[in-house]
Every structure is written in structure tokens, then in C-alpha cells.
Amino acid sequence: MILYPLILTLAMLAPELTDTQKSDLEITLGSVSQTKSGYLTVLGPKERAHRKSGTHQDASLQFRYRGPSKQTSKLASGEVVRQIGLKMRAKNSCNLLYVMWRIEPVEQIVVTVKSNPGHSSHSDCGARGYTTIAKISLEEVGITARTHSAHRMRARVEEENGNFQCIVDVDDKTVWSGSLETRVVAPINGPVGFRSDNGSFIFKLFVDDESR
């Protein structure tokens, strides 16, 4: 695998954030590897991980999609999606905010809250408690990860006077900002993480230490 073009591209994109190493992650599903040059990689149908500490409200995922995984896993709905994204305010696997770059079947950013008060493990909540907040088409703005080029997705959660807002940037352009329901989001807080489904990805996960 030739990494040099990816390294140069991501170096130009990288903000002044803290780079996540594999040793910083708690891997809860699947397998995550790290290259000698420090890039995280996933190959399987389902990978889930989050940082072991911190409650960062600003995170950036810089990645290159390398194609479908060899094995395929369906969502609980029966749908097959290929995606990678951020887990924000991840209190546990039942209560968190997802900001996902969905590549297939339709290329879009999908913002979703999973809320299951009183539950903490997947065996408790399964696929229940999802509320989709926004779907932002990337095809309409001419951005695609299908060409295997490097991209950056950044998500921020801001709070002011008890009101929460999420802002999503793609390749340094804001593609969406919207309100989050306070009663749902306020009790949910925890580390940043990532999730991938049915794709091969090489990436870096950055967090802003000032947003602890």
C-alpha cells in the first residue's frame, strides 16, 4: 500500500488538534490497526471504538475510503450501508451522538442521536432509541469519497445558556448546523470515538484538548 499521497494530503488538512493513537482507544467491536506512520486502519464489516478518556466537543476525522470490506453486515433494518463517522458525547453504546459520512447507498452526512436513558450496553438497548436529526446530501455539492481521495469531516457541539448546537464541516466548509434537543443531549456526555461499517478505511482521529 502506498501511503505517501495520503500523508501529504492529510498533512495539509490537519488542524492543530490532538492525534489519536491506537493506544488511546478502547475498541469495543471489530479490529483496528495502526501503520508505522501513525494512521489507523479498519478492514472489517463492523468497527467501533472510543477514546479511553476525555469529553471533547470538537473532533475531526480525516480519512480515505479504500473500497468495500470483504464481508458485509446489515443494519438492524436490513439495510447495507458503507460509512465511517464520529461518535460524539459517547456516554455509552446506548446514549451518544453520531455524525456519519455515509458513502453507500446514498452519499450523505447523517446526524443521529441514540438515546436510551437507564441503559448502557448493546444487550440492553440493541438498535433502539435512534432519532435522525439531519441528512445532508454530498452528491448535491459535488463531494464524494468514492474516488478514494482524502477528506476531512469535523463535528462540534456547542452549548450556550443550556442550548446545544451541532456544526458539521466537510473539507473545511460548513455543510450543516442545527439545534440539539437539550433534554436528550444534556444527560449524554463522554469520549469521542468512531464507527465504521462495511468499508476499508485509513484515517486519523483528532480531538481538541481545549474542549474538554
pLDDT at 61: 97
pLDDT tens-digit map of 16-48: 789 999 999 999 999 999 999 999 999 999 999
pLDDT at position 53 is: 93
> Which residue type is seen at 12?
M
Give the per-residue pLDDT at 161: 92
Which pLDDT score is estimated for 13?
A: 46
More confident site: 186 or 209:
186
Q: In this predicted structure, what is the pLDDT of residue 211?
A: 54
pLDDT band at 12 (very low <50, low <70, confident <90, very high): very low
Give the pLDDT band (50/70/90) at residue 210.
Answer: low
Name the more confident of 48 and 7: 48
Q: What are the pLDDT digits (tens) for 166-208?
A: 999 999 999 999 999 999 999 999 999 999 999 999 999 999 9
User: What does the pLDDT read at residue 140?
Assistant: 87
Res 209: pLDDT: 73
* 65, HSE (Cβ side, Cα atoms, 13 Å): 24
Task: Give tens-digit pLDDT for 96-149.
Answer: 999 999 999 999 999 999 999 999 998 899 999 999 999 999 998 899 999 999
pLDDT digits (tens, 9 = 90+) for 53-71: 999 999 999 999 999 999 9
pLDDT of residue 185: 96
Mean pLDDT along residues 81-97: 97
Q: How far is residue 124's CA from residue 202's CA, in Å, rounded to a whole number?
A: 31
